[in-house]
Amino acid sequence: MIWNETIESSDREQMQQIQTERLINTVRRVYHNVASYRRKMQEIGLIPGDIKSIDDIHKLPFTNKSDLRDNYPFGMFTVPMSEIVRLHASSGTTGKPTVVGYTRNDLNMWSEVVTRSLCMAGVHKNDIVQVAYGYGLFTGGLGLHYGTENLGATVVPISGGNTKKQIQLLNDFGSSVIACTPSYALHLAEVLRELGIEPGSLKLRVGIFGAEPWSENMRKEIEDKLKVKAIDIYGLSEIVGPGVSCECEEQDGMHINEDHFYPEIVDPETLQPLPEGKIGELVFTTITKEGIPIIRYRTRDLTRLNYSKCKCGRTLVRMEKCLGRSDDMLIIRGVNVFPSQIESVLLEMSETEPHYLLVVEREGNLDTLNLMVEVQEQFFSDEIKQLQLLRKKITDNIQSTLGISVQVKLVEPKTIERTSGKAKRVIDNRKI
């Protein structure tokens, strides 16, 4: 079912008209209410009247995470606090969190885009949706929660973690949909196996997985082990949270709710717009948000856009599965490496588990990439020779696909820490 047929299947011209009107309003709004936007625009001699159509968006300055931090906590809100009904924040690894505020209308819009996303994923009113994203300042839990209620399906607000309880409720309540990170989905599958529960005996049929990058091979693995259709959902707290985009049942790119979030792809070095189909950094402008509208936000996520009509009937532009973040990209002796590429190689091999950790060290002036990877129980052998052969196979596969050498350390199953939230795949010990 398409939740909002008129919008989700509208023709390009109509969509651009909506985007133009909304962008003009948003620019006016931030110019008159947020000092930092006004200052940035004045610096380049731009006034709101210069933005006459969506195509003028390139004239506007970019916004970075640092802008939000510099204006911590509420400096970029465009309404008085009396209009803000909810706050969320993303923790980040360093410094202050990034805080976002929602008005009542913002929350309604967010529910709408999550409901659209659930419909894209093939979820309907009769489904029981177990929301295993964290509830709290993180947007995952509450975002999926209200979208599910708005659809009229049943929500199980269990939040993240407590795997045994998750499994008990999957079983007892007959949850047909699970929403969690893809790495946690794999963990769930692992525990099910340990408990001797056949995933096929549960009612589970759809998984709404996001909040971290995951490869196509990981999708196959999850679908196979958990017996669900694995749908990719994308979002970030600065823009709204989950529901910025989501895959439909075709699983061929995530439809962006572009009547609310206008996407661009730019070259991360030159910041110039790139033509359709080119991979670059995704940039978003919110065009309906009231609490904290964001102009040209640099997500650091790398992907490409596809404007062709989807087989599902939607015309909303699609973004490809994220390759990774530009700031997660490792440059190892000059070669660009994404953790997702290593993940893909590992998942193509039957001997390894999809649990791994990359540790980068600098010895002298030389970077070394160490890969710790779990070996499947049945391949974990006491025979050193067997293990040496396996290490060589992994090293060779990575060398031939990525063109870099890695030091592989094989570890027993369940050595690498499991998390119910975003998985940590990289430790960079280089002091550069």
Distances from the Cα of 219 to the Cα of 123, 156, 181, 224, angstroms: 18, 24, 12, 8
How far, CA to CA in Å, does 28 sit from each of 82, 174, 260, 298?
Answer: 21, 49, 16, 21
- For ligand DLL, the closer of residues 314 and 321 by Cβ is 321
Beta strands (DSSP E) in 141-292 are 154-156, 177-180, 206-210, 229-236, 241-247, 254-256, 261-266, 280-286
3-state SS of 355-418? EEEEEEEEECCEEEEEEEEEECHHHCCCCHHHHHHHHHHHHHHHHHHHCCCCEEEEECCCCCCC
What's the CA angle centered on 326, arms 320 and 331, to 5 degrees? 125
Applying CB under 6 A, the span of 28-36, 46-54, 64-72, 230-238 interacting with ligand DLL comes to 230-238
> d(Cα 95, Cα 44) in Å, to the nearest integer?
29
Q: Which of 205, 325, 391, 393 binds ligand DLL (CB under 6 A)?
A: 325
Among 16, 36, 71, 90, binds ligand DLL (CB under 6 A): 90
Mark the segment that binds ligand DLL (CB under 6 A) among 71-79, 232-240, 354-362, 402-410: 232-240
For residue 273, the 8-state DSSP code is: B
Among positions 297-316, residues that touch ligand DLL (CB under 6 A) are 299, 301
- 340 lines the binding site for ligand DLL (CB under 6 A): no
**Closest CB to ligand DLL among 127 and 301?**
301
Q: Is 236 in the site for ligand DLL (CB under 6 A)?
A: yes
Site size with ligand DLL, rule: CB under 6 A: 20
113 is an interface residue for ligand DLL by CB under 6 A: no
* Contact flag: residue 207 with ligand DLL (CB under 6 A): no
* Binding range to ligand DLL, per CB under 6 A, among 39-47, 66-74, 228-236, 355-363: 228-236
What is the footprint of ligand DLL within residues 239-258 (CB under 6 A)?
241-242
Smallest distance, ligand DLL to C-beta of residue 99, A: 12
Pick the binder of ligand DLL from 147, 235, 280, 354 (CB under 6 A): 235
Q: Closest distance between ligand DLL and the C-beta of residue 263, in Å?
A: 13
Amino acid (one-letter) located at 238: E
If phi > 0 it is left, if psi is from -120 to 50 it is alpha, else beta; for residue 226 that is: alpha
424 binds ligand DLL (CB under 6 A): no
Looking at the Cβ atoms of 28 and 325, the one nearer to ligand DLL is 325
Binding mask 379-398 for ligand DLL (x = CB under 6 A): --------------------
Any residues with CB less than 8 A from the CB of 387 and at least 6 apart, and which?
Answer: 375, 380, 381, 410
- Residue among 101, 140, 160, 339 that touches ligand DLL (CB under 6 A): 140
185 vs 233 by CB, closer to ligand DLL: 233
> Which residue's CB is nearer to ligand DLL, number 211 or number 390?
211
User: Smallest gap, in angstroms, from Cβ of residue 234 to ligand DLL?
Assistant: 4
CA distances from 229 to 83, 222, 298 (A): 39, 9, 31
Q: Which stretch binds ligand DLL (CB under 6 A): 54-62, 227-235, 265-273, 285-293?
A: 227-235
Closest residue to bound ligand DLL by CB: 210
Closer residue to ligand DLL, CB minimum distance, 56 or 149? 149
List, in sequence order, every residue forming a beta bridge with 366; answer none if it has no partner: 363
Is there binding between residue 115 and ligand DLL (CB under 6 A)?
no
Question: Can you say how many angstroms the Cα of residue 180 is from the centroid of all Cα atoms in its chain?
Answer: 11
Judge contact between 131 and 145, C-beta under 8 A: yes
- CB burial class (10 A; 0-12, 13-18, 19+) of residue 382? exposed
How far lies 320's CA from each of 85, 137, 282, in Å? 33, 27, 11
Nearer to ligand DLL, 212 or 367 (CB): 212
Please state, in angstroms and as integers, the Cα–Cα distance from residue 21 to each residue in 30, 163, 288, following that order: 15, 47, 10
Angle at 365 between CA 363 and CA 371, to 5 degrees: 45
- Inter-residue contact 57 to 262 (CB < 8 Å): yes
Measured CA to CA, the distance from residue 143 to residue 126 in angstroms comes to 19
Residue 78 in contact with ligand DLL, rule: CB under 6 A: no
> Per CB under 6 A, does 339 bind ligand DLL?
no
What's the closest the beta carbon of residue 313 comes to ligand DLL, in angstroms?
22
Applying CB under 6 A, which residues contact ligand DLL? 90, 133, 139-140, 210-213, 232-237, 241-242, 299, 301, 322, 325
